[in-house]
Structure 1
Amino acid sequence: MSLVPAGAGFVRRTAHLAAALVLAGLAALPARALEYRETPGLADRVGVDLPPVAMRLPEEPLVVDLPAKGRETGRQGGEINTLIGRSKDVRLINVWGYARLVGYDKDLNLKPDLLKAFESENDRVFTLRLRKGHKWSDGAPFTSEDIRFWYEDVASNPSLQPSGLPQFMLAGGKPPRFEVVDETTVRFSWDEPNPLFKPELAKSRPPFIYRPAHYLKQYHERYGDMDKIMRLAEAKKLRNWAALFNKMDDMYDARNPDLPTLQPWVRLVDDSERRFVLKRNPFYHRVDSTGQQLPYIDRVIMTVADGKIIPAKTQAGEVDLQARNIGFSDITILKQGEKAGRFKTYLWPISKGSQISLLPNLTVKDPVWRSLMRDVRFRHALSLGIDREMINKVLYLGFGTPANDTVLPMSPLFRPEYRDLNAGYDPDRANELLDAMGLTERRGDGVRLLSDGRPLEIIVEASGESQEELDALELVAETWREIGVKLFPKPSQRDIIRERALAGTLVMAVWSGFENGIPTSEMPPEDFAPVRSDFLSWSAWGNWYETGGQTGEKPDWEPAERLTELYDAWLVSGSDEERTEIWHEMLQIHAEETIHIGLVSEVRQPVVVQDLGNVPEVGIYGWDPGAQFGIHRMDEFYVK
């Protein structure tokens, strides 16, 4: 088996064969309701290294009726230029493209995408039906074998996955029964419900439970020539076949241009670390209702620039679409460029639970601080001592919403009390709560004294990556002084902060709020329970959960214990009604306990658009769910 990369060469060989069959009259075009229109940018290649569009599409492509969605039917061609702050951000093309087995629509409903159908029996048995005739970007068939290969030869191979199957593939701690039903149908079956499975497939960074088996088998010990594999591994200075396989198996990072993909744009050459050209996938599975194959855009060009100058370059009109590396503080300079007629600046609400959140460490080791942090009166006092309206006006020109760190009104789980409870500015009430705790002694400058005589001075550690966070801390410090609390901001680094949180030496951190502020009950509530060690409010508890009690601390605080119970109950839940009830109890606990101290939510993300159609003026901007541009279907954007 050849180890020569199978990218562009394989495209030419496979597509040329298909084209030759069509031209020779040996392959008939299947009957379709739509009359497909050849893509102008690919027309010269048809009959040379590509078959006609009808042979490139699945027998039943995903047909998008854009006018019914309130969008325009676009035209094919053109390019989108955008800037990225580092070369590894080229992987965003696989986020923004958002071709998923199932994906979220704008109403946060999960719909089949790459799949023709997705069938669930009580969240225990999942049947996945592919589109007959669907092809990878190199023209090879996308079939059940690609899912079987991932499950049996990649995910279940201890050399490639030493930690075993990922959590979303386990139910009750057990793996599924897997079966290939036919060429386009597979089935995963568990004895217990597995509500994690379906939403995992729709993430901005999905697990890709399929692999281009025809390409990757040449690097696998079970299928490839081991002598050739080891020679190539040695040439790449890799220790064994598994390391080589994992390097070539690059579904997310877009670093292997020879790896076939199902995304709308594909990287075909590896000739630069400063400018990346992503070209349209000729075999993409989506078409519009007029028969035009998506994506409309021929090329996406991602150019690396210093993040500090990206706002200025954007203002100068050097991009067609930009949201990365620009923020609310750049709106003034962007509006100046907008006046010159270069572009439009849309302001999309950010989908985080809070733009900025203060995170008291409930597992801090210092006994005095631990007692304070776990006293609900203390957390309420700190929250009531913040003038969120002032912060909103000073930092966000009043465009945000003073609020707790919780779900947003866009979420079907939203209730006003989750947002508003103990989130008003009431320094008198805050002082009463602190007095009731016995913190009545003060030093000469008005700062309260702790029970051991130390001043109530809170060091709030920041990653040092956001001036916005430091500016917010200054405003919080002003009003905390009125309640006898001194705040010291301490810029640091995110890795150091996480280490200190896990070690119990962190007292409080400033961070962005919950990543997903627009959940549905179908999405796992892992952010709201102490089940991950990288959450700064309870790293030690999260570490205990992750390691099965081998390290960290077992939760010994009643709300944390209950949140863990609820999360575990969600993992085995079998209905939407049950999951909704679990979510609401968890959100109620967070609101009543003020575990995170959110400041302002629904802050706007500037989205700069130059001469592009179908980019929504009002959208949501988030990672999961959302994939930034992905949920708005960037493959439907077009050059006006």
Structure 2
Amino acid sequence: MKRIPACLIAASVIALSGCLRSDPQDSAEPEPMPSTVVAAPATIDAALLANRNFGEAPVLLEQVGTGALPPVSDRLPENPRVILPVDETGRYGGTIRRVLIADIIEEDEVYKTLTDSLMMFERPLAERIEVNLAESYEFLEEGRVALFRLRRGIRWSDGVPLTTADFLFWYEDMTFNDNARSVALFPSEWLIDGKPIRMEAIDDFTLKFSAAKPMGRLLQALCKDPVAYPKHHFAQYHPRYNPDATYGDFRQRTSEARIIMEPGVPVLSAWMSTGWVHGQKIVYQRNPYYWKIDTEGNQLPYADRLEFAIVPSLHVINLMLLNGQVDMVGRYDLTDLYAEMKQEEPKGVIKVRVTGPEAGNAYYLNWDAHNPALREAIRNKNVRMALSHAINRAEMSEIAYQGMLIPGGYSFNRLSPYYSEESYRKYTAFDPDKARALLKQAGYRDSDGDGWREFRDGSTFSLTVDVPVASNSKDDSVELLQEYWQDIGIKTNLNYGLSEIIYTRRLNGEFEVLAWKFNAPADPLGRPQVWAIMTANTPYWHRNASSEGPEWLHEATRYMKTAMATVDPDAVFDTMARVRDLHTENIPNIATGSKYHIWAFNTRLGNVPRENARDYEFRGWSGPLMSEQIYIKHEP
């Protein structure tokens, strides 16, 4: 069999370019970060690994002394994952205090903070892919077969060994089984040319993946959500292993929220849940079997506890941050609070970071809107071009984003290896006269002089924008959008709602226009279901695309599927450039640009990264923080 070096595959499938900065006149930029000398060994001493002379937290050492736990050398795998601290070797103890506006609807933030998968994106910037639970891997048969070898000796938080049976349980019994799967559709990243990738166990520590075509996106898929769950725990609730069990009960028990938040579920993460009061807080304590160490051989994490308080108000969250009651805030849009935070920063309680640029907001148009007149209008390219040209992105940047928005359109952004400046700027020039002319050309006029254009059936051309409250959509920018679109004769209503309500409307296709963060412009192949017709009811903004979608979207879908089954980086680039151009030219949705991200942390924390990718595909803001190596310098 012909072998492909793992490093070549990694380069071909990640190929992430550096962040291209905007011109100074275009937007504000973050302050340059000072260079740092890391006060920890760059690599671990081989003799330390050979002698297995590891350090551990005092609270665990006490349990070893009483016989409640085996020695740390027996709890760690043969070859632990070694993490280089951001600044220095930390100290044990204390609690990292985080905050969420909700628990169940925000479970993905907890997931990104805690979960580990077979592979992982480099942190804090996703410039390459690294081994994680896997110790090594190789691709065979030109990428149609891949072998992954697990680190021997990794254990779940209850001490039970991790084996390939846990991966097969996730794939065969939880994901492949339509009755057991907690979501309706089989995940598209595990399909090659419409057929599921095959997974099998060679032995307890070797996994084999195979497909009829090269698996060009396998490493990315293995960097995201966990692909192993504790079979010894969940099998008792699965009808395949327990005839008294039901699939309904199994799906409830294996929801992402319950897996990550419910006490008693064995995990592989740095902390394990010990308390969850719905709507109030989630409490985690260190996992005694966590399988990562620092470069001095100390078992991670440094912090004894991780807590998430549930606070459904960004204003209150900011007050808690300024008062020293919260350690880190960064999931939400803090632009409105930036000036206040910078004013408070000299007092020494908080440190403010500005990183990016990253995906900004977008306005997703429902191509299958319930109103047939609006549906017809949305499917008219001239209308979509008009909606984009009506937006004054430069003004929006100054008023709503304090100059931190880099104007751009519906195309791959500056973090993408397939980025094109020309494509990024297409249809973004502020030109309301051109917008009015495009609407007139499309047949939408104000025939009665009341200031509003009419649909073809004579009714008022109106639409409603769904806006999630306390989420990533900026109210100021949406109100400006309303003003811009009404200025060209389109009556624009704003429907504010709690995030979970707006998200449910998105899932059910009940929205007309949705204000949401631009999905995956840095790595479209990471979320192909947003950019292509990968399965029934996708993309969510055109659920009927498989039967009613335009030819250009079907063509883009074919290109994306080709790219997902390609390991040649040049071929992937050429193919994805075509996808980029098709989407950019046809502007199915309206984007506003890329923006810098504002986040902050309490100065009592050590080893907080200076940069952050904060892209959904690279595990958002929380994943790149490397929380396991953050430590408490002093208690509040």
Task: Give the TM-score of the pair, scaled to structure 2.
Answer: 0.80
2:50 maps to 1:32: yes
2:202 maps to 1:181: yes
Q: CA RMSD in A?
A: 3.4
For residues 495 and 308 of structure 2, the distance between their equivalents in structure 1, rounded to whole angstroms, comes to: 35
- Bigger mean CA offset, 72-81 vs 391-400: 72-81
Q: What residue identity is the alignment partner of 1:213?
A: K
Q: What residue identity is the alignment partner of 1:587?
A: R
Q: Residue in 2 aligned with 1:423?
A: 428
- Measured against aligned partners, the alpha-carbon deviations of 1:76-96 in whole angstroms (never above 9, x if no partner) come to 322211222234356744320
Q: Residue in 2 aligned with 1:331?
A: 338
Change (3 A) 1:179 1:471: closer
Q: Residue in 2 aligned with 1:192?
A: 213
2:322 maps to 1:304: no
Do 1:412 and 1:520's aligned partners in 2 also have CA atoms closer than 8 Å?
no
Once the two structures are TM-superposed, the CA of residue 619 in structure 1 deviates from its matched residue by 1.8
Do 2:63 and 2:69's aligned partners in 1 also have CA atoms closer than 8 Å?
yes
- Bigger mean CA offset, 174-183 vs 492-501: 492-501
For residues 91 and 257 of structure 1, the distance between their equivalents in structure 2, rounded to whole angstroms, comes to: 17
Matches within 5 A, 1:12-161: 32=50, 35-47=53-65, 48-66=67-85, 71-88=87-104, 89=106, 92-105=109-122, 106-121=125-140, 122-155=142-175, 160-161=180-181
Do 1:99 and 1:264's aligned partners in 2 also have CA atoms closer than 8 Å?
no
Which of 465, 468, 472 matches 2:469?
465
Once the two structures are TM-superposed, the CA of residue 399 in structure 1 deviates from its matched residue by 1.3
Do 2:333 and 2:597's aligned partners in 1 also have CA atoms closer than 8 Å?
no
For residues 174 and 446 of structure 2, the distance between their equivalents in structure 1, rounded to whole angstroms, comes to: 63
Do 2:389 and 2:430's aligned partners in 1 also have CA atoms closer than 8 Å?
yes
For residues 116 and 634 of structure 1, the distance between their equivalents in structure 2, rounded to whole angstroms, comes to: 21
Q: What residue identity is the alignment partner of 1:565?
A: R
2:587 maps to 1:594: yes
2:538 maps to 1:529: no
The structure whose Rg is larger is 1
Do 2:117 and 2:227's aligned partners in 1 also have CA atoms closer than 8 Å?
no
Which of 222, 227, 231 matches 1:209?
227
Once the two structures are TM-superposed, the CA of residue 386 in structure 1 deviates from its matched residue by 1.4
Residue 355 of structure 2: SS of its match in structure 1? Answer: strand
Residue 463 of structure 1: SS of its match in structure 2? Answer: strand
Q: Residue in 2 aligned with 1:13?
A: none
Do 2:406 and 2:594's aligned partners in 1 also have CA atoms closer than 8 Å?
yes
2:509 maps to 1:509: no
Q: What residue identity is the alignment partner of 2:557?
A: T
Do 1:98 and 1:631's aligned partners in 2 also have CA atoms closer than 8 Å?
no
For residues 523 and 429 of structure 2, the distance between their equivalents in structure 1, rounded to whole angstroms, comes to: 24
Matches within 5 A, 1:197-346: 197-203=218-224, 206=225, 208-220=226-238, 230=244, 240-249=245-254, 253=258, 254-269=260-275, 274-308=280-314, 309-324=316-331, 327-346=334-353
- Bigger mean CA offset, 302-311 vs 97-106: 302-311
Which of 611, 622, 627 matches 1:634?
627
Q: What residue identity is the alignment partner of 1:304?
A: I
Q: What residue identity is the alignment partner of 1:104?
A: F
For residues 422 and 528 of structure 2, the distance between their equivalents in structure 1, rounded to whole angstroms, comes to: 19
Q: What residue identity is the alignment partner of 1:119?
A: E
For residues 578 and 458 of structure 2, the distance between their equivalents in structure 1, rounded to whole angstroms, comes to: 38
Q: What residue identity is the alignment partner of 2:392?
A: D
Once the two structures are TM-superposed, the CA of residue 310 in structure 1 deviates from its matched residue by 1.9
- Measured against aligned partners, the alpha-carbon deviations of 1:226-273 in whole angstroms (never above 9, x if no partner) come to 6xxx5xxxxxxxxx4444444554665324322211111111356786
Once the two structures are TM-superposed, the CA of residue 344 in structure 1 deviates from its matched residue by 1.3
Q: Residue in 2 aligned with 1:394?
A: 399
For residues 554 and 618 of structure 2, the distance between their equivalents in structure 1, rounded to whole angstroms, comes to: 27
For residues 216 and 485 of structure 1, the distance between their equivalents in structure 2, rounded to whole angstroms, comes to: 53
For residues 627 and 81 of structure 1, the distance between their equivalents in structure 2, rounded to whole angstroms, comes to: 18
Do 2:348 and 2:603's aligned partners in 1 also have CA atoms closer than 8 Å?
no
Do 2:321 and 2:602's aligned partners in 1 also have CA atoms closer than 8 Å?
no
Change (3 A) 1:346 1:399: same
Once the two structures are TM-superposed, the CA of residue 372 in structure 1 deviates from its matched residue by 3.5
For residues 565 and 219 of structure 2, the distance between their equivalents in structure 1, rounded to whole angstroms, comes to: 14
For residues 329 and 54 of structure 2, the distance between their equivalents in structure 1, rounded to whole angstroms, comes to: 32
For residues 194 and 596 of structure 2, the distance between their equivalents in structure 1, rounded to whole angstroms, comes to: 40
Do 1:502 and 1:540's aligned partners in 2 also have CA atoms closer than 8 Å?
no
Q: What residue identity is the alignment partner of 1:97?
A: L
Residue 548 of structure 2: SS of its match in structure 1? Answer: coil
- Measured against aligned partners, the alpha-carbon deviations of 1:562-596 in whole angstroms (never above 9, x if no partner) come to 22332333344453333322322111122222222
Once the two structures are TM-superposed, the CA of residue 503 in structure 1 deviates from its matched residue by 9.2
Q: Residue in 1 aligned with 2:19?
A: none
Q: What residue identity is the alignment partner of 2:266?
A: P
For residues 115 and 94 of structure 1, the distance between their equivalents in structure 2, rounded to whole angstroms, comes to: 19
Where does the alignment leave 5 or more consecutive residues of structure 2 unmatched?
Answer: 1-46
Q: Residue in 2 aligned with 1:625?
A: 618
For residues 249 and 501 of structure 2, the distance between their equivalents in structure 1, rounded to whole angstroms, comes to: 31
Q: What residue identity is the alignment partner of 1:257?
A: P
Q: What residue identity is the alignment partner of 1:80?
A: I
Once the two structures are TM-superposed, the CA of residue 448 in structure 1 deviates from its matched residue by 4.4
Once the two structures are TM-superposed, the CA of residue 496 in structure 1 deviates from its matched residue by 7.8
Q: Residue in 2 aligned with 1:235?
A: none
Once the two structures are TM-superposed, the CA of residue 179 in structure 1 deviates from its matched residue by 3.5
For residues 215 and 51 of structure 1, the distance between their equivalents in structure 2, rounded to whole angstroms, comes to: 21
- Bigger mean CA offset, 149-158 vs 492-501: 492-501
Do 2:181 and 2:251's aligned partners in 1 also have CA atoms closer than 8 Å?
no
Do 2:527 and 2:617's aligned partners in 1 also have CA atoms closer than 8 Å?
no
Q: What residue identity is the alignment partner of 1:623?
A: Y
Aligned residues: 577
2:541 maps to 1:540: no
In percent, how many aligned pairs have the same letter? 26
Task: Give the TM-score of the pair, scaled to structure 1.
Answer: 0.80
For residues 360 and 244 of structure 1, the distance between their equivalents in structure 2, rounded to whole angstroms, comes to: 36
Change (3 A) 1:315 1:46: same
Do 1:317 and 1:337's aligned partners in 2 also have CA atoms closer than 8 Å?
no
Change (3 A) 1:558 1:57: same
Q: Residue in 2 aligned with 1:613?
A: 606
Q: Residue in 1 aligned with 2:39?
A: none
Change (3 A) 1:442 1:216: closer
- Measured against aligned partners, the alpha-carbon deviations of 1:363-418 in whole angstroms (never above 9, x if no partner) come to 34666544543333332222122111111101111012111133321222221122
Residue 347 of structure 1: SS of its match in structure 2? Answer: strand
Do 1:383 and 1:597's aligned partners in 2 also have CA atoms closer than 8 Å?
yes
